[in-house]
Structure 1
Amino acid sequence: MSLIDMPDSLGRDIRALRKSRKLTLSELAEKLGRSVGWMSQVERDLSEPSMSEIKDLARAFDVPVQTLYGHAPARAGEEGRIVRANARRPVGHRADGLSEDLLSPDLTDDFEVVHSTFAPLARRDEPLSRPTQEVGYIISGALDLTVGGTTHRLNPGDSFRIRGEPFSWANPNTTPCIAIWVIAPPVY
């Protein structure tokens, strides 16, 4: 597969994103101005969406286009199992100084693993709440994580859990903070 080809898991990834947002096939099709039949065929990999349709899907899910398309392909025999460092899919909004890459091979599991890089002095002040359970591990740097109104300073080797509670974060340092997050169910 070249960079212009669609990933093998595209239909399954679209289905996982739709379900994580609690959208029915009909609701998503209506949002896109497409038929339910077309949407069903895309999710079952019977129809390949055009680039403009991929962009529409990314907008509907509020994810970067690269989450669905444009990342480096897996090596032969590694599809669905191995994600090489140069083949990670960007996920999230890349706002507030946070960049995230999917470490999971696709979005079809009961959870997703994300590599998060918090830029120096980056912060998210407005609490985020999502219907997930999340566990994280700080690899390097420091992160001030506020969960349920209480702020915790996390350093390398520290881990945390969030169970659907409102949370916000700040990198208090002038160096990046690197963390690994496991999120269930997948939200990206």
Structure 2
Amino acid sequence: MSPEANFKLDAERPAVGALLRAARRSRNYTLQDLSTRANLSVGYLSQIERDIATPSLGSLNRLAAALSLDLGHFIPIPNARGLTTRAKDRDTIWVREGGMTYERLHGEFVGASFSAFLITLPAGFTTETDQHFGEEFVEVRAGRVQFTIDGQVYDLGVGDTLHFRSDLRHQAVNPHDEDAVLFWLGNGPTFQSRPNIAAEQPS
């Protein structure tokens, strides 16, 4: 996948950490309050607010739900593309430049039960440790990635796959000097254009 992103953050848009802190304080939530609502640790939330940690789209979705906000409050959300995505004009999304990038593959329709992305892990990048409802399937398309699932390490190369329950603690790391590209499929908390889907719901 090209390192050139089709979808870039507005340089004048506040960082995710500042947006999260402002939203939390406007509701008079403590970090512990938000931790309980989003099922994320206080320490991790503090790191996000200080822009030390870069949350995944799944964690941002959980934070948005905990604050009764749309995901678009934290990152610009591209318009839905319907049922088909063309390789030449897919949206590439990132939370912060230099972190993971997500190229959306799934369509948008009422009742969709999973999401699919091409995910690029930059050289030397380590994801957050996560644990949530659902299941995930990963195929390595380029590079190598080490996944830790419930304490067990899986070293994956091109063509290797991994399928696991998301309620097991999981983390991915790219310890190598080249980017890794993953095909990811899952039905846990991920990126969805909730306003567009809601608009299709019957009244």
The alignment's TM-score, normalised by the length of structure 1, stands at: 0.58
The aligned residue for residue 180 of structure 1 is 183
CA distance 1:136–1:175, change in 2 (3 Å): same
Deviation at 1:107, TM superposition (A): 6.5
1:1-188 equivalences under 5 Å are 31=68, 58-59=72-73, 62=74, 64-67=75-78, 69=79, 80-91=82-93, 93-94=95-96, 97-106=99-108, 108=110, 109-124=112-127, 126-164=128-166, 165-185=168-188, 187-188=190-191
CA distance 1:94–1:148, change in 2 (3 Å): farther
The letter for the 1-side match of 2:138 is G
CA distance 1:91–1:161, change in 2 (3 Å): farther
Listed as ranges, the gaps of 5+ residues in structure 1 are 1-16, 33-55, 75-79
The letter for the 2-side match of 1:159 is T
The letter for the 2-side match of 1:82 is T
Which consecutive aligned stretches of 4+ in structure 1 deviate over 4 angstroms post-superposition?
none
After superposition, what is the alpha-carbon deviation per residue over 1:84-118, rounded to whole angstroms, capped at 9, x for unaligned? 12332334634773111111123741111110001
Q: Which has the higher strand share?
A: 1
In 1, the alpha carbon distance for the partners of 2:116 and 2:103 equals: 9
Listed as ranges, the gaps of 5+ residues in structure 2 are 1-57, 192-203
Q: Secondary structure at the match of 2:85?
A: coil
In 2, the alpha carbon distance for the partners of 1:162 and 1:136 equals: 9
Deviation at 1:140, TM superposition (A): 1.1
After superposition, what is the alpha-carbon deviation per residue over 1:142-183, rounded to whole angstroms, capped at 9, x for unaligned? 001011111111000100012121111111211110110101
Number of aligned positions between the proteins: 130
Q: Secondary structure at the match of 2:72?
A: helix
The aligned residue for residue 14 of structure 1 is none
The RMSD of aligned alpha carbons is 3.1
In 1, the alpha carbon distance for the partners of 2:164 and 2:94 equals: 18
The letter for the 1-side match of 2:165 is R
C-alpha contact 2:71 2:77 (8 A) present in aligned 1: no
The letter for the 1-side match of 2:126 is R
Deviation at 1:185, TM superposition (A): 4.2
CA distance 1:94–1:154, change in 2 (3 Å): farther
In 1, the alpha carbon distance for the partners of 2:94 and 2:77 equals: 10
Deviation at 1:119, TM superposition (A): 0.6
